[in-house]
Amino acid sequence: MSKKFFTAKNIIVIIFVAVLVLMSILRIYMEHYMGYYLLLVSPVDDDMQVRNAHSILNGNYMGLYNEETIPKHPMFPLFLAALNLLHIPYYIGISLLICGSALLFVIAIKPICENVFVRGIFYLFLIYNPVGFAYEFATRIYRNSLIPWAVLFVIASMVGFYLRKDKGPKKMVFWSICLGITVSFFWYLREDSIWMFPFMLVGTFAILIYWVSYFFKTYKKGERSKAFRDKLGLIIKCLILAIVPFCLLGMTRLFVSGMNKLNYNIFVTEDRVEASIGNVMSYLYRIDDGHNWQSERGANEPDIIVSSDAIKMAQKESPALASLDNYLDCYYRLSGGEELWADWPEWALRDAAVEKGYYRDALETEVYFAIVADELKTAFDEGRLKSKEGVFLSSQTGPFVADDFAEALNITGVTINHMLHFDFCDVNMPKISDYDYNKMKNWESLLGMTFPRDEQQLMTDATVEGTDIVEDSADNEKLYEKFSDGNALALRNLLVYRALYIVYIILLAGGFVFATVYIIVRRGKGDRAVFDSWLLELGVLLTAFVNIFAVSLFSKALTPDPNVNVFCFYASSCYVLFAVALILGICSMIRIITPLVKKKASS
């Protein structure tokens, strides 16, 4: 190896990279031994995802069709199954996702931040974000634990794509394909991924504007030379690259729908919103039952969107729905005899349909609910059912009035404050809910991990297995100590981030304001990279706001109290989005300040 390689600068870089690798290994260790929260009995949440993953591994896709088979998108079960097939334990798999998304982001921002040491610090800042250790956010074996890092993958891909818009098609191919893959992964983790679409669409539109303006700037009237054809060919290639991510997303949709068609004979990605039961619920949510539930209930009680009276009115107008004469029984069974809140009436409807023999054949169930939806539509069209007043933004919620938007805006502000303080990112010791020995073994075999038991659970294991409880207790105690150590490390990490709260806020706001002033003063004659960084930061901040506002608007049906963790839970990706915005702001400040420092030093 050349002696020129062993320069002082290169040695320092090697040492720094080695430190980053060691810190990444420590992050994996902390991921392994942190307080996992396992919900073993959760028919349409955690347990359903684990069951689906087992079915995939057994070659049965998502398993036999019933009401709990495909009400949600399939990406998390596919993720779990893929890790198992590759013999990668869950903690390593999610650690690779966290570190990989952060690494991709710091590579993406190289055009605006070339310093490897600065980008290395950004990498550590991202992988140790407290949301990655948050109890109930990150420690549940559930799809929401992947959301922040799937979002970071999408943001990194879009940033890399945008920042290389002037580098030519060869430099952009990787980022175009990467964006298509990452957005497809993110999109089919949950059913409410639409909030990311504006960022992706506007970012792509900005790139298209740049290419078209470049073409017209370099185009000479009457030019018919080879140079003209080369420029036109370049633009066409770039346009194709802009379309690729959307094509890959569409292909993923076709694949998921095709698999459901092949296995269940219905062409949908999930059977909750896209299937006909989604249309039925959209009509039930619209029924004006004559009550003003908001005024009739306590301030902090969840919303009643489909009341028992509304169901009676619907059954009167729909003979097909009336055939589910057990619907109200299922409704009251879930609510304990009270009015059923939020979207729970849909799960009661599913239960009622199951008791009447549906959800054994997907196509038969689809046809039945299509008939119900058609009858309810006719009742609305003919005026026999009246619609509530307000704006319907989704087929899966009731209407929204002006007060709802004002309330959601207030919740948004409170939620942002919680996130900037890293609230609800507290850690905890391992917890296994509704413990069952056989089910626990299934989970552990899928995840490639062993979790500590409490004394009662150990006694249950001893009864089932007939093993020595003393030996089991000793092994469990050692394992519990490791989880305790990992928990302590995660807690110290959280305290560091909280201690730097003021610095965090100053850099987040200051970076954006500083870049804004610079752009206004220079009037387009300054460093182009500053504008690119500012524009991306603006897009990320607006995306975070859209996400939190949408979550606040739709989730306040569960509770209007902004100080509970439900809003941060469903918008947990914004912990990472704010970190990304801060990094982009720092990049802007570095680009602005560095030339001034150099100029002063040389004078």
Q: What is the pLDDT of residue 498?
A: 93
Q: What count of other Cβ atoms lies within 10 Å of the Cβ of residue 509? A: 13
Confidence of residue 222 (pLDDT cuts 50, 70, 90): low
Q: Mean of the per-residue pLDDT values for the chain?
A: 90
Interatomic CA distance for residues 24 and 105, integer angstroms? 15
Q: Cα–Cα distance between 505 and 422 in angstroms, integer?
A: 12
Q: How many residues does the chain have?
A: 603
- Whether 128 has a pLDDT exceeding 90, the answer reads yes
Average pLDDT over residues 505-525: 89
Evaluate if residue 63 carries a pLDDT over 70. Answer: yes
Report helix, strand or coil for 178: helix
Band of pLDDT at residue 416, cut at 50, 70 and 90? very high
For the segment 385-398, the average pLDDT, to the nearest whole number, is: 87
In sign, the C-alpha dihedral spanning 517, 519, 521, 522 is: positive
385: nearest Cα among 280, 305, 292, 284: 284
How confident is residue 290, by pLDDT bands cut at 50, 70 and 90?
Answer: confident
Lowest mean pLDDT among 203-207, 301-305, 352-356, 423-427: 301-305
pLDDT confidence of residue 166: 84
pLDDT > 60? residue 220: no
Give, rounded to a whole angstrom, the gap between the first and last alpha carbons of the chain: 40
Residue 200 has φ and ψ, to the nearest 5°, of -65, -40
- Range from 206-215, 327-336, 487-496, 503-512 carrying the lowest mean pLDDT: 206-215
Grade residue 211 by pLDDT with cuts at 50, 70 and 90. Answer: confident
Range with lowest mean pLDDT among 422-426, 469-473, 531-535 = 469-473
470-484: pLDDT as tens digits: 777 888 888 989 999
Q: Give the CA distances from residue 98 to residues 104, 138, 147, 521, in Å, rounded to whole numbers and listed in that order.
A: 10, 11, 10, 39
CA atoms within 13 A on the CB side of 145: 26
The whole-angstrom separation of Cα 501 and Cα 489 is 19
Q: What is the 3-state secondary structure (H, E, C) of 547-577?
A: HHHHHHHHHCCCCCCCCCCHHHHHCCHHHHH
Tell me the average pLDDT across 287-296. 80
- Least Cα distance to 534 among 485, 488, 587 occurs for 587
pLDDT of residue 227: 62
Q: What is the pLDDT of residues 39-62, one digit of tens each?
A: 998 888 899 999 999 999 999 999
What is d(CA 317, CA 280) in angstroms, rounded to the nearest whole number? 13
22 is written with which tokens? 């060691």
b/e burial code for range 114-145 (CB count within 10 A of at least 16 → b): eeeebbbbbbbbbbbbbbbbbbbbbbbbbbbb
Q: Do residues 273 and 191 touch, judged by C-beta distance below 8 A?
A: yes
d(CA 46, CA 84): 17
DSSP 390-453: SB---TTS--B-HHHHHHHHHHHHHHHHHHHTTTT------EEES--HHHHHHHHHHHT-----
Share of the chain above pLDDT 70, in %: 95
Higher pLDDT, 414 or 170: 414
Name residues whose C-beta falls within 8 Å of residue 249's C-beta, 6 or more positions apart in sequence: 180, 183, 184, 187
Contact (CB, 8 A) for 385 and 314: yes
Both tokens assigned to 523: 């009037």
The answer, yes or no, to whether residue 277 has pLDDT greater than 90, is yes
The answer, yes or no, to whether residue 444 has pLDDT greater than 90, is: yes
Residue, of 154 and 300, whose pLDDT is higher: 154
Categorize the per-residue pLDDT at 268 as very low, low, confident or very high, splitting at 50, 70 and 90.
very high
At residue 575, does pLDDT exceed 80?
Answer: yes
Please state the rounded mean pLDDT for residues 570-597: 93
CA–CA distance, 475 with 452 (Å, rounded to integer): 9
The least confident of 189-198, 247-256, 391-400, 448-457 is 391-400
Q: What is the mean pLDDT of residues 393-406?
A: 86
- DSSP states along 454-490: -HHHHHHHHHHH---HHHHHHHHHHHHHHHHHHHHHH
CA dihedral angle for residue 265, residue 73, residue 51, residue 267, rounded to 10 degrees: 0
Residue 223 pLDDT greater than 60, yes or no = no
Rounded distance between C-alpha atoms, residue 243 and residue 249, angstroms: 10
Residue 460 pLDDT: 83
Phi-psi region at 140: left, alpha or beta (left = phi > 0; alpha = psi -120 to 50): beta
Strand, coil or helix: what is 387?
Answer: strand
The H-or-E segment that residue 105 falls in is: helix 90-108
User: In degrees to the nearest 10, what's the CA dihedral of 96, 99, 101, 103?
Assistant: -130
The percentage of the chain sitting over the pLDDT mark of 90, rounded to a whole number, equals: 66
